[in-house]
């Protein structure tokens, strides 16, 4: 119905500043796409091009099969939540939400009905007569969301809507967001650099770096099978252990330990090994790939300890492991198992994933 | 309820801090005004040999019958209203232009403030020459464009003289209004306009619903300043027309000046000052009241 489609989208501010390069993707009804990536990778620029706030250098944006690239923001029937919320300071909460509806010449009755139902969902009822300056940060965020919801647009755009909230509130609003957007159909494009938000909210995640789309997949796919070294390092917290290791025939050397290479990775003089700290574990029966080292740092994360280990046989190889807080291990000569199915292999040159 | 000690202490400190300024203000402003009130209930002119003779409210009664006073008040009202309206419209236009990003904007902004920075007497002299009937540039331009056939003595014609002084005043103070409004425009975050555009607003609608309400405080402040200045205008008129021709541009301040300095009628002059002062204060007070309301409405303060 209102499928959002980006085709070969490029944005160049100048010859050298090209924050978005040849981006193509689609977001269907009932889909929630999150754009993640480090600061300055072009997330906001993409959103602003979809909204029509930024001139597209090349490519097209279409909504529901209609090419909207030449249209003004107001003619695209989208709604956007700004990072700063962009609430009109001189209008009450009610008028803030009504503004877009009045401009679209909706009847007073309809406007009231929509605002009522949105303010009920968002718990804004007691605040409708206040001005933005009389609201807390979380309440402002809700008003900004309400202003988008009442519009019942073809596409929702949200640019880091939670980044101004404190951690606790963010978690709560994140859950609310999920519920609210599950209840409606229109495609959602959500920008964040918080990967937890990306993982929990979305049906699809697009990881961006330096203007290029690195991977577009379901959240758990991105986590389980990162397409390249960048995605592997960017998604997941604490960060994945990534080491460039020399290849010796069909295995690599990690300090004094040999690790078997799968068929697909048996090429080149070296390969990149990746394993998430939460997949490194204390050896159990049947584990064959075991490394040893000395613990030099323990970070207590509450339910588990993040243990940093300097591996034997190499001065600089550090492996980080998430171990259960109640487990016992020796600080010196700790043994850790690297389950083969949890290891990711990447090409040194292209940094692309080697194993399927 | 417990007492709010912090607020109280702040308030006490506040009073203490403004005390010196308050004293100076009382001395410099309040004393002369009170003195003028006092003088205005005496008759002190050539007929009393410049001796003050108590005459109650006789001066005020005389004022009610004084056609020249009412004419000058009318002139002042016309001059003030016309220049304020023109300056607001032009100033807003200039401010909106200067708010756009273009090359050399810094230079243009600096140049725009120049008319305001120049001494009024000099500007008045220049405008007197511009409007000069024989040698004036203005006549020259109009004649070259064949808009008029014969030169007009702009400042010598009772119908044109008022327009002439208004033009000069607008030229000088539009930039002041523009700079004040520009500050207001620049305080409006860009994303408000973006949000409004996404809401479906045209630029004109954004101007009405976002720009105007948000710079209303600056508009009112500018108009307040300008009202006080225009209502008491003296130097510009004195140099350009001297209140002429035939009193066509005589403002209240010029009339007061003549009463005191030429006719040496000190008591009546004081009464004129008092009435003008009361009018000025009343308008400023009303405007200030309104201003605090608007600022509240614009979400500036709570
Ligand atoms: N108006 C502009 N002119 C020139 N370059 C710009 C402009 N706006 C953005 N850029 C550049 O484009 C790049 C992408 O900016 P963008 O705002 O899209 O990043 P982002 O991914 O949203 O980052 P963040 O997470 O910090 O918000 C940046 O390198 C930025 O410097
Ligand atoms: Mg951004």
Residue with structure tokens 């090429």? Answer: A267
| Ligand 1 atom 5: residue of nearest CA | A13
Q: Per-residue pLDDT averaged across A157-162, rounded?
A: 91
CATH of the domain at B102: 1.10.3720.10
Interface test with B, best of A93, A103, A104 (most B CBs within 10 A): A103
Question: How far, in Å, from the CA of B234 to the mean position of ligand 2?
Answer: 55
- Residue A71 has what DSSP assignment? S
Distance of alpha carbon A125 from the chain centroid: 32
Number of domains in chain A: 2
In a domain, B39, yes or no: no
B192 touches chain A (CB under 8 A): yes
Q: What is the pLDDT of residues B267-291, one digit of tens each?
A: 888 899 999 999 989 988 988 888 8
B266 in Cβ contact with B54 (< 8 Å): no
Show Cβ contacts of residue B161 under 8 Å, excluding neighbours closer than 6 positions: B154, B155, B241, B244, B245, B248, B249
Handedness of CA B286, B289, B295, B300 (dihedral sign): positive
Last residue of a domain, one of A168, A203, A228: A228
Report the Cα A57 to chain-centroid distance in Å: 25
Is the per-residue pLDDT at A93 higher than 90? yes
Would you place residue B299 in the very low, low, confident or very high pLDDT band (cuts 50, 70, 90)? low
The answer, for B297 touching chain A at a CB cutoff of 8 Å, is yes
CB nearest to A132's CB, from B194, B297, B299: B299
Distance A44 CA to ligand 2 centre (A): 4
Q: Verify whether the Cβ–Cβ distance A99 to B205 is below 8 Å.
A: no
pLDDT 10s digits, A35-56? 999 988 999 999 999 999 999 9
Shared domain check, A267 and A202? no
CB contact under 8 A, A131 and B299: yes
pLDDT of res. B1: 57
CB A38 within 8 A of CB A94: no
Query: Which residues on chain B are in Cβ contact (under 8 Å) with A79?
Result: 198
A221 and A342 share one domain? no
E strands along chain A, which residues?
Answer: 4-11, 20-27, 32-36, 58-63, 66-67, 78-81, 155-159, 188-191, 204-209, 212-217, 241-248, 251-254, 257-260, 270-275, 290-300, 304-311, 318-324, 334-337, 344-347
* Residue A253 main-chain phi, psi, to 5 deg: -105, 120
Q: Is residue A300 part of a domain?
A: yes
**Residue B219 included in any domain:** yes
- Is there a single domain that holds both residue A14 and residue A124? yes
Is A308 found in the same domain as A211?
no
Place of tokens 């990775």: A265
Indicate whether A113 and A204 sit together in one domain: yes
What pLDDT score does B60 carry?
86
Q: Is residue B301 very low, low, confident or very high in pLDDT (cuts 50, 70, 90)?
A: very low
Question: What is the value of ipTM here, to two decimals?
Answer: 0.85
Does residue B201 lie in a domain region?
Answer: yes
* Cβ under 8 Å to A: B residues 96-155: none
Phi, psi at B172, each rounded to 5°: -75, -40
Contact A75 B197 (CB under 8 A): no
Could you tell me which of A181, A192, A244 has the C-alpha nearest to residue A31? Answer: A181
A217 and A302 together in one domain: no
Both A169 and A27 in one domain: the answer is yes
Are residues A201 and A308 located together in one domain of the fold?
no
Lowest mean pLDDT among A96-110, A148-162, B33-47, B193-207: B33-47
B118-136 mean pLDDT = 88
Query: pLDDT tens across B147-159, in order?
Result: 887 888 888 888 8
- Asked if residue A61 and residue A175 are part of one domain, the reply reads yes
CATH of the domain at A174: 3.40.50.300
User: How many domains are there within chain B?
Assistant: 1
Verify whether the Cβ–Cβ distance B299 to A89 is below 8 Å: yes
Q: How confident is the model at residue B302 (pLDDT cuts 50, 70, 90)?
A: very low
Q: Which residues of B touch A53 (CB under 8 A)?
A: 194, 197-198
Residue A235 in any domain: the answer is no
pLDDT at A143: 93
Atom of ligand 1 nearest to the CA of A83: 27
Average confidence (pLDDT) over B207-218: 92
Q: Tell me whether B198 touches chain A (CB under 8 Å).
A: yes
Looking at the partner chain, which of B205, B213, B298 has a beta carbon nearest the beta carbon of A103? B205
Structure tokens at B51: 């001796």
Which chain A positions have a beta carbon within 8 Å of B189's beta carbon?
Answer: 84, 86
Residue A352 in domain: no
d(CA A35, CA A159): 9
**Nearest CA to CA, how far is B101 from chain A (Å)?**
16
Ion ligand 2 contact residues with beta carbon within 5 A: A 44
Range of the domain at B123: 66-264
Q: Output the CA A74–ligand 1 centroid distance in Å.
A: 23
Do A90 and B299 count as a contact with CB atoms less than 8 A apart? yes
Q: Of the residues A13, A84, A198, A208, which should be mutated to test ligand 1's pocket, given the most ligand atoms within 8 Å of the CB?
A: A13
The reported pTM is 0.82
Radius of gyration of chain A (CA): 24
A:124-143 residues touching chain B, CB 8 A cutoff: 131-134
Residue A222 has pLDDT above 70, yes or no: yes
Q: How far apart are CA B118 and CA B107, in angstroms?
A: 17
- What's the pLDDT score for residue B300? 55
Q: What is the pLDDT of residue A61?
A: 94
Give the pocket of ligand 1 (CB within 6 Å): A 13, 17, 19, 37, 39-45, 193
Average pLDDT, chain B: 87
A163 and A216 in one domain?
Answer: yes
- Residue B111 belongs to what H/E stretch? helix B105-117
Of A255, A272, A253, A257, nearest to A310 by C-alpha is A255
Residue A78 shares a structural domain with residue A46: yes
Q: Do the beta carbons of residue B45 and residue B268 sit within 8 Å? A: yes
A234, part of any domain: no
| Ligand 2 mean position, distance from CA A47 (Å) | 9
Residue of A nearest to B298 (CA): A90
> Are A173 and A302 members of one domain?
no
Look up the CATH number of the domain holding residue A325: 2.40.50.140
pLDDT at A78: 93
Residues of B in contact with A131 (CB under 8 A): 299
The mean pLDDT value for A147-167 works out to 90
Is A74 in Cβ contact with B197 (below 8 Å)? yes
Using a CB-CB cut-off of 8 Å, the residues of chain A touching B296 are none
Confidence of residue B203 (pLDDT cuts 50, 70, 90): very high
Does some domain include residue B28?
no
**B197/A89 Cβ within 8 A:** no
Answer with the residue of higher pLDDT: B246 or B180.
Answer: B180
Average pLDDT, chain A: 90
Residue B134 lies in a domain: yes
pLDDT band at B7 (very low <50, low <70, confident <90, very high): confident
- Measured by CA distance, the residue closest to atom 18 of ligand 1 is A42
Whether residue A1 has pLDDT greater than 80: no
Per the structure, the complete domain to which residue A33 belongs is given by 4-228
What's the gap in Å between the CA of A197 and the closest CA on chain B?
Answer: 24
Tokens of B99: 């708010």
Kindly list the distances between the CA atom of residue A314 and the CA atoms of A240, A252, A253, in Å, as whole numbers in the listed order: 19, 14, 10
Q: Least CB-CB distance to A74: which of B191, B199, B297?
A: B199
Q: If you ran DSSP here, which 8-state letter would residue B262 be given?
A: I
Decide if B269 contacts B185 (C-beta within 8 A).
Answer: no
């Amino acid at each position: 119905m209102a499928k959002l489609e980006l085709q070969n989208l490029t944005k160049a501010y100048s010859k050298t500043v090209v924050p978005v390069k040849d981006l193509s993707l689609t977001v269907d009804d009932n889909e929630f796409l999150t754009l993640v990536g480090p600061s300055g990778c072009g997330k906001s620029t993409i959103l602003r091009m979809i909204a029509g706030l930024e001139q597209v250098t090349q490519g097209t944006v279409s909504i529901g099969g209609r090419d909207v690239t030449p249209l003004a923001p107001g003619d695209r029937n989208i709604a956007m939540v700004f990072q700063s919320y962009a609430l009109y300071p001189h209008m009450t909460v009610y008028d803030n939400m009504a503004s877009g509806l009045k401009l679209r010449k909706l009847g007073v009755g309809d406007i009231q009905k929509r605002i009522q139902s949105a303010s009920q969902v968002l718990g804004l009822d007691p605040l409708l007569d206040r001005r933005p300056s009389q609201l807390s940060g979380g309440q402002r965020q809700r008003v900004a969301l309400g202003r988008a919801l009442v519009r019942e647009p073809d596409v929702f755009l949200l640019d880091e809507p939670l980044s101004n909230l404190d951690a606790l509130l963010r978690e709560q609003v994140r859950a609310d967001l999920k519920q609210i957007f599950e209840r409606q159909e229109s495609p959602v494009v959500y920008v964040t650099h918080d990967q937890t938000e990306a993982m929990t909210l979305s049906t699809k995640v697009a990881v961006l770096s330096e203007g290029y789309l690195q991977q577009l997949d379901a959240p758990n796919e991105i986590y389980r099978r990162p397409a390249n070294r960048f995605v592997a390092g960017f998604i997941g917290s604490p960060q994945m252990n990534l080491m460039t290791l020399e290849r010796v025939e069909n295995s690599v050397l990690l300090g004094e330990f040999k690790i078997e290479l799968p068929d697909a990775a048996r090429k080149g003089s070296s390969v990149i090994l990746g394993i998430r700290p939460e997949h490194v574990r204390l050896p159990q029966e049947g584990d064959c790939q075991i490394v040893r080292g000395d613990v030099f740092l323990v970070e207590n994360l509450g339910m588990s300890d993040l243990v940093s280990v300097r591996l034997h046989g190499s001065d600089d190889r550090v492996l980080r492991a998430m171990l259960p807080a109640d487990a016992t291990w020796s600080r010196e000569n700790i043994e850790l198992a690297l389950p083969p199915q949890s290891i990711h292999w990447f090409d040194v040159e292209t940094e692309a994933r080697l194993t399927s | 309820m417990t007492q709010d000690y912090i607020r109280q202490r702040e308030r006490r400190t506040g009073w203490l801090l403004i005390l010196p300024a308050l004293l100076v203000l009382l001395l410099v402003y309040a004393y002369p005004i009170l003195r003028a009130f006092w003088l205005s209930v005496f008759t002190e002119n050539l007929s009393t040999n410049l001796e003050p003779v108590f005459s109650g409210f006789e001066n005020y009664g005389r004022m009610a019958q004084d056609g020249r006073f009412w004419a000058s008040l009318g002139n002042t009202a016309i001059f003030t209203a016309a220049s304020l309206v023109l300056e607001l419209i032009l100033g807003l236009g200039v401010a909106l232009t200067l708010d756009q990003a273009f090359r050399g904007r810094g230079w243009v902004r600096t140049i725009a403030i120049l008319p305001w920075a120049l001494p009024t007497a000099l500007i008045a002299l220049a405008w007197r020459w511009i409007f000069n009937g024989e040698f004036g540039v203005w006549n020259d331009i109009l004649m070259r464009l064949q808009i008029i056939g014969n030169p007009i003595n702009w400042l010598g014609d009772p119908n044109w003289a008022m327009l002439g002084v208004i033009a000069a005043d607008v030229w000088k103070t539009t930039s002041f209004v523009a700079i004040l409004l520009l500050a207001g425009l620049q305080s409006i975050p860009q994303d408000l306009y973006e949000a409004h555009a996404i809401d479906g607003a045209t630029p004109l609608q954004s101007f009405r619903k976002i720009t105007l309400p948000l710079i209303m405080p600056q508009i009112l402040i500018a108009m307040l300043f300008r009202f006080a200045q225009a209502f008491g205008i003296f130097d510009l008129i004195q140099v350009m027309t001297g209140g002429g021709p035939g009193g066509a541009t005589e403002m209240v301040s010029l009339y007061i000046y003549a009463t005191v300095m030429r006719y040496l009628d000190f008591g009546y002059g004081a009464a004129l000052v008092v009435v003008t002062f009361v009018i000025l204060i009343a308008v400023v007070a009303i405007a200030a009241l309104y201003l605090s309301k608007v600022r509240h409405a614009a979400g500036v303060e709570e």
